[in-house]
């Protein structure tokens, strides 16, 4: 059975993105083992002379390295991902590179009707950056709009159409992970390039 790390892309105490990942953890428990991880508690990213990385970021990097894939659920604030999620990804590309060639599925929930569409688009760009080099599943947006009304008292999605869509996307992700395992011939070179990349060098 595949093992996935699911990153809650919000540091809010109550988040419908956390609810979405908890639903996926329960709903897909017979298909994959999904471990939820929080980004709250991580300090805001800051460069240092000794390239210090917080212990929590190192622990998260190790979990990502050991996982078969990563699921990220992001809210949308002012058409972008939260600062806390951006900072977390910065830590995870600062002298450590757990995302290189790692299969990633992007999801997201928002209170409005667009379902974090712009934030998901921005997240794709960040994950595709030279420092991260993640392998993002294409054409796979799951946009959960009006998320405050999306779940019932048991934490299940109310909409049959949205449930069916998520089921299909998750099956695609399982296949995408299998295919990605066969596409790692350049993994060592990709990791080396990520380690050597620097915006400070002209």
Give me the phi and psi of 144, to 5 degrees please: -95, 100
Q: Do the domain assignments include residue 202?
A: no
Q: Do the domain assignments include residue 60?
A: yes
Q: Do the domain assignments include residue 145?
A: yes
Give me the phi and psi of 156, to 5 degrees please: -95, 150
Q: Do the domain assignments include residue 201?
A: no
CATH number for the domain spanning 100: value is 3.40.50.360
**Structure tokens belonging to residue 90:** 């910065």
Q: Do the domain assignments include residue 82?
A: yes
Q: 10 Å Cβ neighbour count for 131?
A: 20
pTM, entire model: 0.91
CA angle, corner 153, sides to 169 and 32, nearest 5? 35
pLDDT tens per residue, range 140-170: 788 888 898 989 999 999 999 999 999 999 9
- Structural domains counted in the chain: 1
Q: Do the domain assignments include residue 42?
A: yes
**Which parts of 77-166 are beta strand (E)?**
103-109, 135-136, 142-144
Cα dihedral angle (191, 193, 194, 199), rounded to 10 degrees? Answer: 170
Q: Do the domain assignments include residue 28?
A: yes
pLDDT tens per residue, range 57-85: 999 999 999 999 999 999 988 888 999 99
**39-58: b or e for each residue (b if 16 or more CB lie within 10 Å)?**
beebeebeeeeeeebeebbe
Q: Do the domain assignments include residue 142?
A: yes
Question: Residue 21 above 50 pLDDT?
Answer: yes
Q: 105 lies in which domain range?
A: 2-196
- 3-state DSSP call for residue 132? coil
Residue 202 confidence (pLDDT): 45
Residue 86 confidence (pLDDT): 96
- CA dist 20 to 46, 108, 176, Å? 30, 8, 21
**Which parts of 51-164 are beta strand (E)?**
69-73, 103-109, 135-136, 142-144
> Residues 6 or more apart from 163 whose CB is under 8 A from it?
27, 156, 157
**Comparing 136-140, 164-168, 184-188, which segment has the lowest mean pLDDT?**
184-188
């Amino acid at each position: 059975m595949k093992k996935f790390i699911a990153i809650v892309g919000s540091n809010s105490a109550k988040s419908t993105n956390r609810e979405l990942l908890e639903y996926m953890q329960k709903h897909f428990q017979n298909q994959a083992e999904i471990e939820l991880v929080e980004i709250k508690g991580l300090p805001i990213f800051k460069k240092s002379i000794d390239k210090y990385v917080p212990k929590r970021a190192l622990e998260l990097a190790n979990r990502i390295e050991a996982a078969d894939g990563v699921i990220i659920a992001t809210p949308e604030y002012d058409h972008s991902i939260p600062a806390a999620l951006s900072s977390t990804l910065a830590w995870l590309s600062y002298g450590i590179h757990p995302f290189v060639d790692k299969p990633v599925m992007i999801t997201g929930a928002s209170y409005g009707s667009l379902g974090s569409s712009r934030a998901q688009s921005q997240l794709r760009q960040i994950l595709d950056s030279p420092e991260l080099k993640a392998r993002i599943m294409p054409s796979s947006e799951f946009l959960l709009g009006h998320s405050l009304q999306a779940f019932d008292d048991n934490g299940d999605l109310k909409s049959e159409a949205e449930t069916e869509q998520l089921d299909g996307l998750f099956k695609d992700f399982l296949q995408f992970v299998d295919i990605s395992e066969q596409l790692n011939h350049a993994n060592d070179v990709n990791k080396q390039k990520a380690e050597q990349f620097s915006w400070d060098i002209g």
